[in-house]
């Protein structure tokens, strides 16, 4: 694409322009949370428990307190207590709502998991703080921990309070299953997995006359500010959280974790700024993980290969105090047409740290189960796996009894299968070879909800024609700065070099957390509306400017190009934005825009992104080593804002799916309840040699129901279906069906 085309603001949205923050990142100019400093900065190091269940019986901090450079040691004995909740206000019905619980103190005498925070040492230097932490003596009264949730299924319970549907029933599953000619019944398991973002979690906290200032690595600057502020009883304006760049989050930074509040407590305790940076090992116990799941799947199909029954009974582990649900059954409830469906979820408490969101929570783990079961059923029916899915294509969301706002899954199947060469697939197991390697073809469906949340943005244009756009969102490294720049520049008809996007600040206009693939849809919509509002204001000002070529012109009689407003009927009658402002003695003009998805659209339509995953694997016939040889994927994710960053997101999701399918697993010690591979030498993720050529096809949809800007979001859909596609290909190559991730050599010997 020519540079001239890239510099044309018309049609800028969708073009594969480079990241506007790219130069800052490659030159080291981008500042991450741990890189911020402050006068008289001190360093905090966390000491974490070495047992998984029990009670602290001795906590001797005297040696640490006497160590050189140590400023303070904070434990459950002396931690600043949380502020009481504000007085309860009556609701409109003149009745009080449920009483608000105060935040819990971050240190406790009771130990519920290995790696629980026990103490914080604050010192003049990081090395002195680390040394002080080593001097603390802790003794425990221990109990045998509950480690594996499947050992305690008799204690499973149904959760409540989730923001996702946890049960879904239609028809009569038992009757449907009895009528089926073909049956598949199996249990699919996914292990504990950890996010391991390149940037570890970190917080710098300091108190000033305005309240609390925090530099924090987070996926939600306003949400994290509110969580920390709540501990001290602060109002939102009294907590200023800054995080201009995030070095990956993947869900682990989607909520505020104890270390952030601990940093603020420590700063208040010592009267100086405090920095806490979580170590790589501590990242396995301090900021969540994908919980282990057990998914019992039952499918029934009639003699023509039409599904007549689906059952998905899911269980995942949680910590001793939380109720986090991995909604693995969400895809099974709606992905295929079936009259009789039974979906449910349960939880089992064990002595692990609280699990949390991890890229495509629910759909990533759940797609492995349903898409592997669908492959098994296709083989049982004697049908091609793609043909079987097409026979069971859902034209509507049968779980919600709603039409889709848009659905281009058939086109995804067509483009991806043609690009991949699915028609060359030998339908027999173990019959395809590449030299001595066994070759297998596998495919799966990808899907993820199309989320959109309320958001606001502000745009200010100066008399020089430059525009500053602000929103309290954040860029996780996905290209948010870039797409917002494109949207604003196109709507205002100016060169993108004149637009400066500023995000990552909790005091900016409201922005949602970056989770659920919602940022582009939510914030992109608000920036679009804000830029349009600013353009309207400028056109109105142009028409009201006395003795100008545009005086009295109707807004729809004018057009904007290259920062110039002109009459459509006579382009010579024009003014630049700068001329309009200066003729009206204005130094600047601004507009604040607010957007949300239509309530009517949310009630009337089901909104999802869809895709198709096709992969080829090679398996060594003797050593059983597995190599993913190539990949084709097609995805329908609404309007394309930037083809380059979008493709990059989908690539990243597929690479993560390769890790999920073949490598990733956090191992728990069965006796101590302790993670034992808490480093990147033993917790394996894909490297360059593990990743094949990946061919991505984008099916653009014009869907203004899903979000005002027409975007569905693509941060998570790339991983969905990927692990199943690999497993299905391994079966085609070897005849070995693996239902427990990851698919390792020992499982296909």
* Same domain membership, residue 546 and residue 623: no
Distance CA 585, CA 574 (A): 18
Q: Where are the alpha helices (DSSP H) in 313-462?
A: 330-334, 363-381, 385-391, 409-420
The per-residue pLDDT for 163 is 76
Question: 3-class DSSP state for residue 19?
Answer: coil
pLDDT band at 654 (very low <50, low <70, confident <90, very high): very high
pLDDT digits (tens, 9 = 90+) for 195-237: 999 999 999 999 999 999 999 999 999 999 999 999 999 999 9
* Same domain membership, residue 442 and residue 295: yes
Across the range 246-275, mean pLDDT stands at 97
In whole numbers, what is the pLDDT of the chain averaged over residues? 95
The per-residue pLDDT for 164 is 80
Q: Which two tokens stand for residue 326?
A: 């991995």
* Same domain membership, residue 399 and residue 352: yes
pLDDT band at 93 (very low <50, low <70, confident <90, very high): very low
pLDDT digits (tens, 9 = 90+) for 520-565: 999 999 999 999 999 999 999 999 999 999 999 999 999 999 999 9
For residue 327, is it within any domain? Answer: yes
Q: Which two tokens stand for residue 687?
A: 């490297």
For residue 388, is it within any domain? Answer: yes
Say which range, 6-15, 254-263, 378-387, 735-744, has the weakest mean pLDDT.
6-15
Question: 3-class DSSP state for residue 233?
Answer: coil
Radius of gyration of the chain (CA): 28
Q: How many CB atoms lie within 10 A of CB 110?
A: 11
pLDDT band at 363 (very low <50, low <70, confident <90, very high): very high
Distance CA 111, CA 117 (A): 9
The per-residue pLDDT for 6 is 35
- 367 sits in the region (left: phi over 0; alpha: psi -120 to 50; else beta) called alpha
pLDDT band at 100 (very low <50, low <70, confident <90, very high): low
* Same domain membership, residue 333 and residue 185: yes
Distance CA 325, CA 347 (A): 7
The per-residue pLDDT for 9 is 60
Q: In what order do the strands lie in the sheet with 432-434?
A: 432-434, 437-449, 608-619, 626-636, 694-698
Last residue of a domain, one of 570, 596, 622: 596
For residue 35, is it within any domain? Answer: no
Distance CA 446, CA 410 (A): 12
* Same domain membership, residue 391 and residue 320: yes
**574-576 vs 455-462, strand pairing mode:** unpaired
For residue 246, is it within any domain? Answer: no
Question: 3-class DSSP state for residue 301?
Answer: strand
Distance CA 283, CA 201 (A): 8
Tokens 């990851």 label which residue?
742
Q: Compute, in degrees rounded to 10, the torsion defined by CA atoms 672, 674, 675, 679.
A: -110
Alpha carbon of 707 to those of 42, 220, 533, 699: distances in Å?
A: 45, 20, 17, 17
pLDDT digits (tens, 9 = 90+) for 38-72: 999 999 999 999 999 999 999 999 999 999 999 99
Q: Is 714 a residue whose pLDDT tops 50?
A: yes
Domain of residue 352, CATH code: 3.30.365.10
* Same domain membership, residue 698 and residue 649: yes
The DSSP 8-state label assigned to residue 100 in this structure reads P
pLDDT digits (tens, 9 = 90+) for 721-748: 999 999 999 999 999 999 999 999 999 9
The per-residue pLDDT for 89 is 63
Domain of residue 62, CATH code: 3.90.1170.50
Contacts 24+ apart (CB under 8 A), 431-439: 432/732, 432/733, 434/618, 434/629, 436/620, 436/621, 437/618, 437/619, 437/620, 437/621, 437/627, 438/618, 438/619, 438/620, 438/621, 438/733, 438/734, 439/616, 439/617, 439/618, 439/619, 439/629, 439/733
Q: Is 400 a residue whose pLDDT tops 70?
A: yes
Across the range 389-411, mean pLDDT stands at 98
Distance CA 17, CA 1 (A): 10
For residue 695, is it within any domain? Answer: yes
Q: Which of 345, 325, 377, 296 lies closest to 169 in space, CA to CA?
A: 345
* Same domain membership, residue 114 and residue 174: no
Looking at the chain, the number of H-run helices and the number of E-run strands are 18, 29
Please give the model's pTM, rounded to 2 decimal places: 0.95
* Same domain membership, residue 557 and residue 465: yes
* Same domain membership, residue 700 and residue 722: yes
Last residue of a domain, one of 596, 616, 634: 596
* Same domain membership, residue 399 and residue 346: yes
Distance CA 382, CA 380 (A): 6
pLDDT digits (tens, 9 = 90+) for 118-137: 999 999 999 999 999 999 99
Across the range 501-515, mean pLDDT stands at 97
Q: Is 16 a residue whose pLDDT tops 60?
A: yes
Residue 618's Cα: distance from chain center in Å? 31
| DSSP per-residue letters across 152-218 | GGGG-B-----SS---EEES-HHHHHHH-SEEEEEEEEE--B----SS--EEEEEEETTEEEEEE--
Q: What is the helix, strand, coil percentage profile of the chain, to 5?
A: 30, 25, 45
The per-residue pLDDT for 5 is 38
Last residue of a domain, one of 562, 596, 630: 596
| Residue 559 among the catalytic residues | no
Catalytic residue among 9, 363, 665, 716: 716
For residue 271, is it within any domain? Answer: no
The parent domain of residue 463 ranges over 3-20+453-596
Max CA separation in the chain (angstroms): 86
Q: Which of 61, 144, 148, 67 lies closest to 107 in space, CA to CA?
A: 61
* Same domain membership, residue 125 and residue 174: no
For residue 224, is it within any domain? Answer: no
Residue 291's Cα: distance from chain center in Å? 15
Dihedral over Cα of 22, 23, 28, 33: its sign: negative
The per-residue pLDDT for 10 is 66
Q: Is 481 a residue whose pLDDT tops 70?
A: yes
* Same domain membership, residue 458 and residue 446: no
Share of the chain above pLDDT 90, in %: 95
Across the range 179-183, mean pLDDT stands at 98
Q: Which two tokens stand for residue 451?
A: 């989320």
Across the range 309-327, mean pLDDT stands at 96
pLDDT band at 156 (very low <50, low <70, confident <90, very high): very high
The per-residue pLDDT for 88 is 65
Give the containing element (helix H, strand E) for 744: none
pLDDT digits (tens, 9 = 90+) for 235-249: 999 999 999 999 999
Share of the chain above pLDDT 70, in %: 97
For residue 261, is it within any domain? Answer: no
Query: Could you give the number of structural domains in the chain?
Result: 3
């Amino acid at each position: 694409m020519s540079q001239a085309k890239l510099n044309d603001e018309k049609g800028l949205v969708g073009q594969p322009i480079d990241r506007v923050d790219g130069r800052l990142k490659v030159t080291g100019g981008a500042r991450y949370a741990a890189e911020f400093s402050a006068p008289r900065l001190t360093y905090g190091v966390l000491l974490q428990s070495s047992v998984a269940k029990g009670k602290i019986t001795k906590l001797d901090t005297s040696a640490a307190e006497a160590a050189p450079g140590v400023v303070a040691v904070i434990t459950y004995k002396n931690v600043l207590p949380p502020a009481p909740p504000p007085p309860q206000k009556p609701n409109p019905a003149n009745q009080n709502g449920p009483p608000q619980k105060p935040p819990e103190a971050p240190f406790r005498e009771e130990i519920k998991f290995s790696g629980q925070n026990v103490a914080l040492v604050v010192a003049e230097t990081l090395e002195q703080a680390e040394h002080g932490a080593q001097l603390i003596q802790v003794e425990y009264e221990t109990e045998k921990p509950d480690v594996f949730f499947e050992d305690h299924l008799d204690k499973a319970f149904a959760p409540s309070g989730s923001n996702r549907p946890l049960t879904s029933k239609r028809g009569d599953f038992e009757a449907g299953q009895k009528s089926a000619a073909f049956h598949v019944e199996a249990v699919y398991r996914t292990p504990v997995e950890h996010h391991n973002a390149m940037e570890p979690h970190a917080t710098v906290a300091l108190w000033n006359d305005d309240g609390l200032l925090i530099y924090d690595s987070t996926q939600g600057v306003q949400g994290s500010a509110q969580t920390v502020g709540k501990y001290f009883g602060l109002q939102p304006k009294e907590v200023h959280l800054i995080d201009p760049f995030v070095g990956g989050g993947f869900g682990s930074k989607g909520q505020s974790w104890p270390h952030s509040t601990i940093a603020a407590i420590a700063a208040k305790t010592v009267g100086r700024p405090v920095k806490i940076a979580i170590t790589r090992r501590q990242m396995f116990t301090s900021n969540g993980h994908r919980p282990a799941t057990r998914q019992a799947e039952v499918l029934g199909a009639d003699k023509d290969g039409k599904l007549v029954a689906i059952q998905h009974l899911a269980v995942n582990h949680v910590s001793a105090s939380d109720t986090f649900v991995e909604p693995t059954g969400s895809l099974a409830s709606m992905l295929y047409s079936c009259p009789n469906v039974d979906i449910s979820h349960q939880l089992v408490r064990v002595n692990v740290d609280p699990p949390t969101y991890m890229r495509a929570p629910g759909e990533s783990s759940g797609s492995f189960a349903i898409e592997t079961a669908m492959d098994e059923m296709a083989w049982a029916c004697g049908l091609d796996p793609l043909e079987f899915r097409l026979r069971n294509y859902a034209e509507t969301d049968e779980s919600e009894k709603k039409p889709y706002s848009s659905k281009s899954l058939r086109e995804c199947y067509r483009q991806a299968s043609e690009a991949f060469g699915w028609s060359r697939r030998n339908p027999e197991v173990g019959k395809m070879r590449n030299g001595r390697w066994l070759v297998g073809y596998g495919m799966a469906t990808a899907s993820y909800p199309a989320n959109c949340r309320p958001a606001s943005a502000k745009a200010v244009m100066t008399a020089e024609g430059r525009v500053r756009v602000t929103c309290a969102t954040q860029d996780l490294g996905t290209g948010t700065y870039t797409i917002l720049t494109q949207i604003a520049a196109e709507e205002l008809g100016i060169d993108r070099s004149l637009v400066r996007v500023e995000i990552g600040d909790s005091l900016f206009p409201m922005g949602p957390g970056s989770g659920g693939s919602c940022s582009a849809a939510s914030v992109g919509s608000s920036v679009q509306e804000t830029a349009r509002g600013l353009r309207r204001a400028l056109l109105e000002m142009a028409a009201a400017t006395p003795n100008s070529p545009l005086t009295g012109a109707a807004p729809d009689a004018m057009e904007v190009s290259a920062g110039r407003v002109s009459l459509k009927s006579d382009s010579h009658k024009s003014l630049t934005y700068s001329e309009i402002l200066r003729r009206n003695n204005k130094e600047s003009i601004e507009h604040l825009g607010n957007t949300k998805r239509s309530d009517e659209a949310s009630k009337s339509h089901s909104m999802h992104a869809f895709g198709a995953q096709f992969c080829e694997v090679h398996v060594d016939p003797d050593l059983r080593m597995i190599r993913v040889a190539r990949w084709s994927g097609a995805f329908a994710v609404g309007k394309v804002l930037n083809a380059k960053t979008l493709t990059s997101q989908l690539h990243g999701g597929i690479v993560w799916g390769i890790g999920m399918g073949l490598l990733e697993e956090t191992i728990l010690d069965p006796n101590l309840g302790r993670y034992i591979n808490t480093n990147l030498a033993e917790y394996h993720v894909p490297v360059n040699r593990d990743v094949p050529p990946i061919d991505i096809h984008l099916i653009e949809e014009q869907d203004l129901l899903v979000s005002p800007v027409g975007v569905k979001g693509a941060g998570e859909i790339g991983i969905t279906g990927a692990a199943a596609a690999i497993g299905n290909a391994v079966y085609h190559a070897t005849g070995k069906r693996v239902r427990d991730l990851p698919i390792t050599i020992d499982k296909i010997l």
